[in-house]
Amino acid sequence: MATAPESAPRNRLLAALPAEDLAWLRPKLKLVELELRQTLASPEQRIEHVYFLETGWVSVLAPLDDGDSAEVGLAGVEGMTGWPVALGDDTAEFEVMVQCAGTAWRLTNADFRDALEASAALRDLMMRFVLAQHSQIAWTAACNGRHNIEQRLARWLLMAHDRSEGDTFPITHEFLSVMLGVRRAGVTVAAGMLQRAGMIRYGGGRMTITDRPGLEASCCECYGSARRVQERHFPSGDNRYWR
């Protein structure tokens, strides 16, 4: 682990803090590696740490009684995990799992609470981030309830692409079926259609986006609606998070 460097963090929330607020927070931040499938929060368990993501991304998963899970949200360099703490709740409702390995700045629950007390700017950023996350979860529910698998897959791939370092990232059909809440066979058919159309290339557990404009055209309105909410709450000129 390492403490935060003097250079500006990549994480969009930390980077948006005033210099004096970030300077106060720096000694408390620890840079940690996030491993694939690592669990950062478990349902009905206390949130011990929050993570401001620098690279990679995490899935927010709703646990079901039959043992399965359904993805309800994603977070990457634009956000963080453990945001219920900002609303006064120390207990996780959802599972948070690393879906693309990377790095994050880790902060203890107690230090995060102290930072919220000390920084009005951080409180404002967190409220806006939580609103954006709420919108993403709501549009995910609408998408899963009304749109076909091809549209839902296109939407998910665009969200993953937004948060990836390049055009290629690791993913399997099995994991995609969990993310979309559908059978693996359905994901295979939908991915095959997108691949034959030249929008993606898939093999060996890796996905490459080859035609993003085509993927956006194949997607439903849910992706753009959630993205516009994010941009409304974070309207600065720094949009490196969005492609």
The Cα 72–Cα 55 span in angstroms is 20
- More reliable by pLDDT, 49 or 8: 49
Q: Is pLDDT at 70 greater than 90 in this prediction?
A: no
User: What are the structural domains, with CATH classification, of the chain?
Assistant: 2-119 (2.60.120.10), 144-230 (1.10.10.10)
pTM: 0.89
Strands 69-75 and 2-3: unpaired
What value does the mean pLDDT take over residues 27-53? 96
Q: Is pLDDT at 179 greater than 60 in this prediction?
A: yes
DSSP-based three-state secondary structure for 217: helix
What value does the mean pLDDT take over residues 151-165? 91
pLDDT of 79-122, one tens digit each? Answer: 999 999 999 999 999 999 999 999 999 999 999 999 999 999 99
- More reliable by pLDDT, 238 or 165: 165
Return the percentage of the chain with pLDDT > 90, whole number.
Answer: 66
pLDDT at 238: 45
pLDDT at 67: 75
pLDDT of 131-144, one tens digit each? Answer: 999 999 999 989 98
Indicate the average pLDDT of the chain: 89
pLDDT at 120: 97
Q: Is pLDDT at 2 greater than 70 in this prediction?
A: no
Cβ-contact 146, 136 below 8 angstroms: no
What value does the mean pLDDT take over residues 220-242? 76
DSSP-based three-state secondary structure for 50: strand
What value does the mean pLDDT take over residues 205-219? 93
3-state secondary structure labels for all residues of 160-208: HHHHCCCCEEECCHHHHHHHHCCCHHHHHHHHHHHHHCCCEEEECCEEE
Q: Is pLDDT at 14 greater than 50 in this prediction?
A: yes
CB atoms within 10 A of CB 58: 28
